[in-house]
Amino acid sequence: MPTVPPNQSKRVLVTGANGFLALWVARTLLEQGYAVRGTARSEEKGKAFLDVCRKYGDQIEYRVVEDITKDGAFDEAVKDVDAIAHLASPVSFTREDPNDLIIPAVKGTMGVLRSALKFGTNVKRIIITSSCAAVMRDVKAPGSIFNEDDWADEAIQAVKEHGKEAPARAKYRASKALAERGAWEFCEQHKDEIQWDLVTILPPVVIGPPLQDVSTPADLNLSLHEVYQAVFTDTLPAEALKTQYSYVHVRDIAEAHIESLKREEAGGNRIIVSAGTETIQRTRNRMCKLYPEMYASGTLPRGNPDDVGDFIWTYNTDRSRRILGFSYRAIEEILRDTAEDVKLRGWLKEGQYPSS
């Protein structure tokens, strides 16, 4: 399939464009010379999206899509665009009913594809932002390595069997896996009709400074809020500090979307985009080396420096390096960029975590 190289005549649709990652994707597209059409749930959110990227003038526009689950919700938005980056999908670990996650994730994804099939006559490539949650299996033994051949089938089964009583993260994993698998099945079913190909990008925890107006930590998106709670506050129990997670800089994941438009070989691939794996305590230890003065002054919580926890699983990222040519930003750069943003917003208080 043809690629979609940077050009002001090439317009990319970005769904959910005022979200944390989507806004970075939109701005990176604009920086690299594309035109962008975003979708937002209201005029107010659409105008907020335009305000962040206002310097790009007529290269940016938006369409209101109030409900991504409605039939034909994206029919107008997909017209006259050359590519689509679909990022609009719910993220939550507090929803009781798994359908509150699964229905919008699946219907939103399928709605974009159906609209593209009917009205996206110029579309050459569609990128769907899935998640590493979609490949996460139950870990049977330390040292597990997940890759693009894995699917979160156990989470799907847990939701089928237990419904509202399923673990919170299983509900989210199921929503991402079902939406992504549905997209691949749609492409296979309509392979003789579509003129575009599909790429799915699978990030872990996405970290970095938000572009949108965020007044308090409570206004952060879920992943950033969890990072803020884990690293910049002392709200977690000691045992939780040994919890592991995988991470990627928001700039890297945004650039992965753009590279997926430029590179022909990206078409037809699931691609895990992950920079590495940490535990919360290891992260605090790295932060202490970067900002010793903030720990000495009691501005940041130290935790248990000698009890860092173990890595039980990780992700194979060979495909992202081979196909997208990726060289990831280091964890130190990710933490520094995030910490400087937190400092700038005035969210840190000296002396609140004095060392013992």
On whether the CB atoms of residues 305 and 288 are closer than 8 A, the answer is yes
Checking if the pLDDT of 229 tops 90, the result is: yes
Say if residue 147's pLDDT is above 60: yes
pLDDT for 274-284, tens place per residue?
999 999 999 99
Q: What is the pLDDT of residue 140?
A: 67
C-alpha–C-alpha distance, residues 39 and 18, integer Å: 8
pLDDT, one tens digit per residue, over 28-38 is 999 999 999 99
With 0-12 / 13-18 / 19 or more C-beta atoms within 10 angstroms meaning exposed / middle / buried, residue 157 is middle
CATH superfamily of 11-208+247-277+314-328: NAD(P)-binding Rossmann-like Domain (3.40.50.720)
* Cα-Cα-Cα-Cα dihedral sign, residues 4, 6, 10, 14: positive
Mean pLDDT of the chain: 94
Is residue 8's pLDDT more than 60?
yes
Of 29, 54, 28, 50, nearest to 39 by C-alpha is 50
Report the distance separating Cα 30 and Cα 17, nearest Å.
13
**Cα angle at 85 between 84 and 89, to 5 degrees?**
125
At residue 270, the 3 state secondary structure works out as strand
Instruction: Write the single-letter amino acid at 212.
Output: Q
Q: Looking at residues 84-109, what average pLDDT do you find? A: 90
For 104, what's the count of Cα atoms within 13 Å in the CB-facing half-sphere? 19
- The closest alpha carbon to 94, from 225, 242, 211, belongs to 225
Q: Do the strands 11-14 and 144-146 form a parallel or antiparallel pair, or are they unpaired?
A: unpaired
pLDDT in tens, 170-195: 999 999 999 999 999 999 999 999 99
User: Among candidates 95, 87, 82, 80, which has minimal Cα distance to 40?
Assistant: 87
Is pLDDT at 18 greater than 80 in this prediction? yes
Rg for the chain, CA atoms, rounded: 20
Band of pLDDT at residue 318, cut at 50, 70 and 90 = very high
Nearest to 149 by CA among 138, 134, 162: 134
13 Cβ neighbours under 8 A, 6+ residues apart: 36, 37, 38, 39, 77, 78, 81, 83, 84, 85
Q: Name, in order, each residue with C-beta under 8 angstroms of 56's C-beta and a sequence gap of 6 or more.
A: 30, 36
Going by pLDDT thresholds of 50, 70 and 90, the confidence category of residue 142 is: confident
Q: pLDDT at residue 139 above 90?
A: no
Its pTM stands at: 0.96
Closest residue by Cα to residue 206 from 155, 133, 117: 133
- CA–CA gap between residue 109 and residue 122 (Å, rounded): 19
The three-class DSSP label of residue 62 is: strand
Residues of the chain with pLDDT > 90: what percent?
Answer: 90
CB-count burial class (<10 Å; 0-12, 13-18, 19+) for 53: buried
What count of residues does the chain have? 356
Determine the Cα–Cα distance for residues 132 and 180; give it in Å rounded to an integer: 11
